A and B are shown apart, each in its own frame.
Chain A
Amino acid sequence: MARKLLVAGAFAILICGFVALRSAKPALAAAAPVPAAANDCDRACLNGFVDKFLAALVAHDPSKLSHTPDLEYSENNVMLKPGDGLWATADGIGSYKIYIDDPEAGEVGYYGVVSEDTHPSIFGMRMKVVHQKVSEIQVVLARRDQPSSPFGNPDNLKDKPIFSEDVPADKRLSRAKLISIADSYFSTIQQNSGKIYAPFAGDCQRVENGMITANNPNGTGVAKQGCEEQLNKGLLVFVTRCRDRRFVVVDQQKGLVLVNGFFDHAGVITHYQLTDGTPHTVAPPFDRPYSFNMFELFKVNEDGKIRQIEAVILTVPYHMPTPWPPTPMK
Chain B
Amino acid sequence: MRTLRISLVCAFMLGIIAARPAVVAQTSTAIPQDYDPNFNYDCDRACLDSYVDQYLAALAAHDPSRLSLARQVKFTENGQELKLGDGLWGTASGIGNYKILADDPQAGEVMFMGTMLENGAPIILNLRLRVELRRITEIETLVARKEAGSLARPENLVTPNPLFSETVPPSERRSRQNMIAIANSYFSAIEKGHASYVPFDKDCNRIESGVQTTNNKQLATSPDSVLGLGCADQIKTRNFQPDTLIRDRRFAVIDEERGLVFVLGFFDHDATLRSYTLADGRTVKQTRTAPWTWEIAEMFKIQDGKIMRVEAIVNTGPYGMKSGW
Contacts and interface: CB of A to CB of B under 8 A. Distances in A.
B119 interface: yes
Interface stretch (A17-25, A83-91, A207-215): A83-91
Contact of A78 (B148, B316, B320): B320
Nearest to B293: A78
A145 B290 contact: yes
A289 B270 CA distance: 27
B80 A116 contact: no
Interface in A143-158: 143, 145-148
Interface residues of B, number: 35
A78 B82 contact: no
Contacts of A78: 318-322
Interface string B103-122: 00000000000000011000
A176 interface: no
B290 A146 contact: yes
A274 interface: no
Contacts of B119: 267, 270, 287-288
Contact of B289 (A79, A145, A316): A145
Contacts of A285: 147-148
A289 B318 contact: no
A10 to B, nearest CB: 17
A117 B91 contact: no
B272 interface: yes
Contacts of A267: 90-91, 118-119
A99 interface: no
B96 interface: no
Contacts of A148: 149, 316, 318
B147 A85 contact: no
Interface string A67-79: 0000000011111
A28 interface: no
B77 interface: yes
B290 A119 contact: yes
B24 to A, nearest CB: 38
A229 to B, nearest CB: 29
Contact of A266 (B90, B270, B288): B90
B319 A76 contact: yes
Given A78-B319, A147-B149, A148-B318, A317 B78 contact: yes
A66 B263 CA distance: 41
A262 to B, nearest CB: 11
A288 B145 contact: yes
Nearest to B91: A267
Nearest to A88: B272
Interface in B116-160: 118-119, 143, 145, 147-150
A62 to B, nearest CB: 15
Nearest to A150: B148
B86 interface: yes
Interface string B259-299: 00000000000111010000000000000111110000000
Contacts of A317: 77-80, 317-318, 321
Nearest to B88: A289
A54 interface: no
Interface string B62-96: 00000000000000011111100011101100000
A118 B290 CA distance: 11
Given A267-B90, A319-B87, A147 B78 contact: no
- Residue from B77, B90, B148, B318 whose CB has the most chain A CB atoms within 10 Å: B318
B227 to A, nearest CB: 21
A40 B126 CA distance: 52
A318 interface: yes
A85 B86 contact: no
A268 B91 contact: yes
Contacts of B77: 289, 317-319
Given A75-B319, A78-B318, 16 more contacts: A75-B320, A78-B320, A85-B320, A88-B271, A116-B290, A119-B290, A145-B288, A148-B316, A266-B86, A266-B91, A270-B119, A289-B87, A317-B77, A317-B79, A317-B80, A319-B82
Interface of B: 77-82, 86-88, 90-91, 118-119, 143, 145, 147-150, 270-272, 274, 288-292, 316-322
26 contacts: A75-B319, A78-B318, A80-B320, A84-B270, A84-B291, A86-B290, A88-B272, A89-B272, A89-B290, A116-B271, A116-B289, A117-B274, A118-B289, A145-B290, A148-B149, A285-B148, A287-B119, A289-B87, A316-B317, A316-B318, A317-B78, A318-B78, A318-B87, A319-B82, A320-B79, A321-B80
